A and B are shown apart, each in its own frame.
Chain A
Amino acid sequence: MILPLWSGIMSALKTQADLAQTLPFAPPTTLVFDGFIASYNELIGPLFNSILFTSIATILSCLLGSICGFVVAKLKFRGSNTVFLLLTIGIFLPYQSIIIPLFITIRNLGIYDSLWVMVLVHTIYGIPMTTLLFRSYYESIPESLFKAAKVDGAGIMTIYQRIILPLSPLPFVVAGVFQFTSIWNDYLFALTLTNINFEPASFALSNIAGSTETAWNNVMAGSFLYSLPVIIIFVLLGKYLMQGLMAGAVKG
């Protein structure tokens, strides 16, 4: 895991000529930042786009997943299991199989190549996974808490806002990190649903490689810049992520 990252960073700090003459994991003979500067100029706009739609879609899909998870876990209604099953089937639906009808739908909606198309598809595609995550977490909240709130006079909305939501920071972190990385890493939607108007970073990164000649130092520097936000997220939230993954039950 370290070696590719190391080789990538080393290559990013080399000149074109240096790259050709040294092994990928050897340190640069002369330290240059040309690769970083070039890729930064190429990527800064798309990176901003990606951060924007990834954040919005992450927040939305977590929020909706939390609501759906609450509904299927705690409000047992006729057919709630079927609803849950149908929801989770979405996880197993490959992107590739729906990409053409999706493209046509998006074009007809008139949001092709915009921020909103990326927010929309990623939010919707995220809901099954986040629902699954939140549901299993909410299942572990004792039923009596829910009953107590009901008897105390709270309606469904109040219970969600005042009991369920405040108990959910951990699943929000887990689902959030999971969603952020998977949306951030998406290439297929970026490729098919956007163009030059709203270019996501994953798509822009592939363009750095160029079609005739590949400046590997630029590509490697770009890759590093591209992975930076995800690394930052992991560093900031890793502690909570581990807690969240291990939390089996809410203990009073």
Chain B
Amino acid sequence: MTNIRISNLVKKYGESNAVNNVDIDIKNSELFILLGPSGCGKTTTLLCIAGLIKPEEGEIWFDEQIVTSAEKNYYERPQDRNVAMVFQDYAIYPHMTVFKNIAFPLEIKNMDKKEIEKLVHSTAKSLGIEELLDRKPKQLSGGQRQRVALARAIVREPNAFLMDEPLSNLDAKLRIFARAELKKLHRRLGITTIYVTHDQIEAMSLGDRIAILNKGEIEQIDKPQTIFDLPKNLFVAGFIGSPPMNLIDGSVKEENGTVYFTTKKINYKVPSEFSIVKELKGKEIVLGIRPEDIKLSKNESDNSIKATIEIIELTGREFEVHLKVEEERIIALIRNIENFKINDVVNLIFDEEKLHFFNKETGENTYYESRK
């Protein structure tokens, strides 16, 4: 149960910065997610916390104790940090039995044999792998291996868990169960957990808070719901959500006291609560609207936009409707498709409360600070 503070972390590989000025304050007992596309520096950050790589700049603190300080050239060894790590490929020692694997960190600590036996058995039992203790990793399924890796991490009662995409090698069905198991486990143990993933659904469903990384920099740190409802910038808006948020390039125009968002074809009246965007007059702005916040209608109404249906895809419970407004492509998610077919001209109605306006130049969501 540790609070982990990372400040100004910089890690370079050659000339490029894999991690650039990352600041994160992870609270005690939190399940904190590092989310981002591959190569965004999330695993590098994790390895820095574990002490497996040395950053060029920055500090890492476990509670009041400094464990990494590039400035003071102080790096506490990984074995002294008492963190447990779960790897994507599980990294189970192939020549040892499950029992030996779980016991390994305890044996290193020179713990009493009987004590080890007791701990290994109780941990294995809590994860439902007690009957596998005599087996070799070769004889285990992916899900079982993942549990062994977890057991090895839990058995030590570490300061923190560091998990590097622990579920990504499982098949889709198993992953959903394992995710729920992990969540339960975290709740039961209450150990600070840092979890790296590129899977946004995993991040959304597991995390207490999420940090979104891109090119080594943090784009946003917030609760999952906030990240979804109020993306801080264009990157987050485009990254989170499946299908992602529709982003329409345009500009601001003011006519007779009314503010309009305009493109070549669209002339959209900006709702009064967003009137602040008029300050961005003359600049390029981006309107963002999630596919699920768009309604289709046969009838034209105030502030609706005309679009042509290009494709309709069934995605299970919902339909993904691909629409075309001039050269803009827009995706809407709707439940009921009965009234519509391909090539129909329909009216799009945006949910006015769910609109986002981004400054194209800076990428910032104009309302992030005020609505947070």
Interface residues of A in 145-160 (CB under 8 A from B): 145, 147-155, 158
Whether the Cβ atoms of A153 and B108 lie closer than 8 Å is: yes
Chain B residue numbers with a CB within 8 Å of A167 are 94-95
Give, as a whole number of angstroms, the nearest-CB distance from A50 to chain B: 34
Chain B residue numbers with a CB within 8 Å of A158 are 108
Which listed residue, A148, A163, A250, touches B87 by the CB 8 Å rule? A148
Known interface pairs A152-B152, A153-B79, A155-B79. Does A147 touch B91 (Cβ–Cβ under 8 Å)? yes
Asked whether A144 is an interface residue with its Cβ less than 8 Å from the other chain, the reply is yes
Interface string of B104-127 (1 = CB under 8 A from A): 110011000000000000000000
Which listed residue, B83, B88, B90, touches A151 by the CB 8 Å rule? B83
Q: How far is the CA of A151 from the CA of B67 in the complex (A)?
A: 14
Nearest A residue (CB) for B149: A148
Chain B residue numbers with a CB within 8 Å of A251 are 94, 138
Chain A residue numbers with a CB within 8 Å of B176 are none
Which listed residue, A142, A144, A152, touches B104 by the CB 8 Å rule? A152
Whether the Cβ atoms of B79 and A142 lie closer than 8 Å is: no
Give, as a whole number of angstroms, the nearest-CB distance from A109 to chain B: 40
Nearest B residue (CB) for A167: B95
Whether the Cβ atoms of A145 and B108 lie closer than 8 Å is: no
Asked whether B92 is an interface residue with its Cβ less than 8 Å from the other chain, the reply is yes
Q: For this complex, into which size category does the number of interface residues on chain A fall?
A: 20 to 34
Known interface pairs A152-B152, A153-B109, A154-B108. Does A142 touch B95 (Cβ–Cβ under 8 Å)? no
Q: How far is the CA of A147 from the CA of B137 in the complex (A)?
A: 18
Chain B residue numbers with a CB within 8 Å of A148 are 85, 87, 91, 93, 152
Chain B residue numbers with a CB within 8 Å of A110 are none
Interface string of B28-57 (1 = CB under 8 A from A): 000000000000000000010010100000
Whether the Cβ atoms of A144 and B52 lie closer than 8 Å is: no
Interface residues of B in 65-87 (CB under 8 A from A): 78-79, 81, 83-85, 87
Chain A residue numbers with a CB within 8 Å of B145 are 252
Whether the Cβ atoms of B79 and A151 lie closer than 8 Å is: yes
Interface residues of B in 138-163 (CB under 8 A from A): 138, 145, 152, 156, 162
Nearest B residue (CB) for A163: B93
Residue from A144, A151, A162, A250 whose CB has the most chain B CB atoms within 10 Å: A151
Whether the Cβ atoms of B90 and A252 lie closer than 8 Å is: yes
Asked whether B89 is an interface residue with its Cβ less than 8 Å from the other chain, the reply is yes
Give, as a whole number of angstroms, the nearest-CB distance from B213 to chain A: 20
Chain A residue numbers with a CB within 8 Å of B96 are 166
Whether the Cβ atoms of A144 and B78 lie closer than 8 Å is: no
Known interface pairs A250-B94, A251-B94. Does A151 touch B85 (Cβ–Cβ under 8 Å)? yes
Whether the Cβ atoms of A252 and B152 lie closer than 8 Å is: no
Nearest A residue (CB) for B92: A252
Nearest A residue (CB) for B93: A163
Whether the Cβ atoms of A154 and B79 lie closer than 8 Å is: yes
Chain A residue numbers with a CB within 8 Å of B87 are 144, 147-148
**New contact pairs (13) apart from A148-B91, A154-B79, A154-B108, CB-CB < 8 Å:** A144-B88, A150-B52, A151-B50, A152-B79, A152-B84, A152-B156, A162-B104, A163-B93, A167-B94, A251-B138, A252-B89, A252-B90, A252-B94
> CB within 8 Å of B: which residues of A?
142, 144-145, 147-155, 158, 162-163, 166-167, 250-252
Closest 6 CB pairs of A and B: A148-B91, A144-B91, A152-B105, A153-B108, A144-B87, A153-B79
Listed A/B pairs (27) with beta-carbon separation below 8 Å: A142-B89, A144-B87, A144-B91, A147-B47, A147-B78, A147-B85, A147-B87, A148-B85, A148-B91, A148-B152, A149-B104, A150-B79, A151-B52, A151-B83, A151-B162, A152-B79, A152-B105, A153-B79, A153-B108, A153-B109, A155-B79, A158-B108, A162-B104, A167-B94, A167-B95, A251-B94, A252-B89
